[in-house]
Amino acid sequence: MINAGDAEGRKAPVYSLVIPIFNEEAVLPLLVRRITALLDKLDASAEAIFVDDGSRDTSVIFLRGMATADPRFRLIELSRNFGHQIAITAGMDAAAGDAVIVMDADLQDPPEVVLDLVAKWKEGYEIVYARRTKREGETLFKRATASLFYRALEQMTSVTIPRDVGDFRLVGRKALETFKQMPERDRFVRGMFGWMGFKQTAVSFERPERAAGETKYPFWKMLRLAVHGVIGFSDKPLRLALWLGLAISGFAALLGVYALFSWLFASGVVHGWTSTVVIISFLSGINLFMTGIIGLYVGRIHAEVKRRPLYVIDRLTGFEEAIAAMSN
């Protein structure tokens, strides 16, 4: 299409696949086979960038071998586990293609769907996300919490973050360059792409089970991602604190009036220990909760002002001259 494989030397590929890897040794052989098949099927030159997010198993050894043997494979090794969203970012920073496709390593994002994403991109869409119509092999709990989260987030933000969409998507150069200019530390990648606009569309697919290995997203990690999503894209929780504080003050004022009247007109009002305890513990609970919400935002500011790099690269394999061009 735009600058498909030149005869002399390696030119920038048309497609870049970005695949984050965290302890995926169980699925890697199968993944590489499916990715190779996909690369052969694509209509123009393509590269596959694996980002090792501090794996503690043999994933890295396998991938180094792949990146050395096949010129289309590249490997970025981060210096430790930085988390899924940062790993994706590192891969996208290094991607040289005109269209960049982000997908999970566990084959829950089927490589064949990439062909559908590409078809939409050629129709002129800048961002094409893959929407899950059915999720297999995921617990009812995971599906319910995910669904609840997306619906709540929709209520809370002014940014359109498409429902039932993970990080499996294709983005064009314009969107990618925009993404690279977004420096925030706490990254909620799907929200960031929602924010930037452009012509966007969806392709539906049925999400299969993880091909091998275990989920790398236990409940607490999901919760953290959800909190990042809310804090990063909404200031509703802060306003909630304000309204709740106001409501409770109103209630307290009424109670004060009542107390005053009892003191004036009733006799022997010593009892009331229960209500005092209830009110104090209730109010201190609310206070702590609200301080916590504010703390989340302050913590985010703290992380931003440190201006540390988003990630640290330990080692690159298969990049050659592309290394110099890398930002961060």
CB atoms within 10 A of CB 283: 13
Pairing of strands 165-172, 99-102: antiparallel
Q: How far is the CB of 314 from ligand UDP (least distance, A)?
A: 15
DSSP structure class, residue 272: -
Which strands make up the sheet holding 313-317, listed edge to edge? Answer: 200-207, 127-135, 165-172, 99-102, 15-21, 46-52, 73-78, 313-317
Question: Residue 59 interacts with Mg ion (CB under 5 A)?
Answer: no
99-102 vs 127-135, strand pairing mode = unpaired
Query: Measured between alpha carbons, how far is 193 from 195 in angstroms, rounded to an integer?
Result: 5
Q: Measured between alpha carbons, how far is 145 from 143 in angstroms, rounded to an integer?
A: 6
Residue 201 interaction partner, one of ligand UDP, Mg ion, none, beta carbon < 5-8 Å per kind:
none
Applying CB under 5 A, does 157 fall inside the site for Mg ion?
Answer: no
Binding-site ranges for ligand UDP (CB under 6 A): 20-22, 24, 53, 81, 83-84, 87, 104-106, 108, 210, 215-217
Binder of residue 36, out of Mg ion, ligand UDP, none (CB less than 5 to 8 A by kind):
none
Q: Does 108 bind Mg ion (CB under 5 A)?
A: yes
20's contact among Mg ion, ligand UDP, none, with CB below 5 to 8 A by partner kind, is ligand UDP
The item of Mg ion, ligand UDP, none sharing an interface with residue 77, based on CB under 5 to 8 Å by kind, is none
Tokens of 186: 């706490």
Residues 6+ apart with CB under 8 A from 30: 107, 211, 212
* Binding at 90: pick from Mg ion, ligand UDP, none (beta carbon under 5-8 Å per type): none
- The contacts of residue 163 (CB under 8 Å, 6+ apart) are 131, 150, 151, 154
Judged by beta carbon, residue 139 or residue 281, the one nearer ligand UDP is: 139
- In the complex, the smallest distance separating the C-beta of residue 21 from ligand UDP, rounded to whole angstroms, is 5
CA distance 72 to 319: 10
Nearer to ligand UDP, 43 or 206 (CB): 206
Query: Minimum distance between the CB of residue 146 and ligand UDP, rounded to whole angstroms?
Result: 9
Which one, of 226, 85, 38, lies nearest residue 146 by Cα?
A: 226
Q: How far is the CB of 110 from Mg ion (least distance, A)?
A: 12
53 sits near Mg ion (criterion: CB under 5 A): no
Of 145 and 178, which has the nearer Cβ to ligand UDP?
145
Least separation in angstroms between CB 115 and ligand UDP: 20
Contacts to Mg ion by CB under 5 A: 104, 106, 108
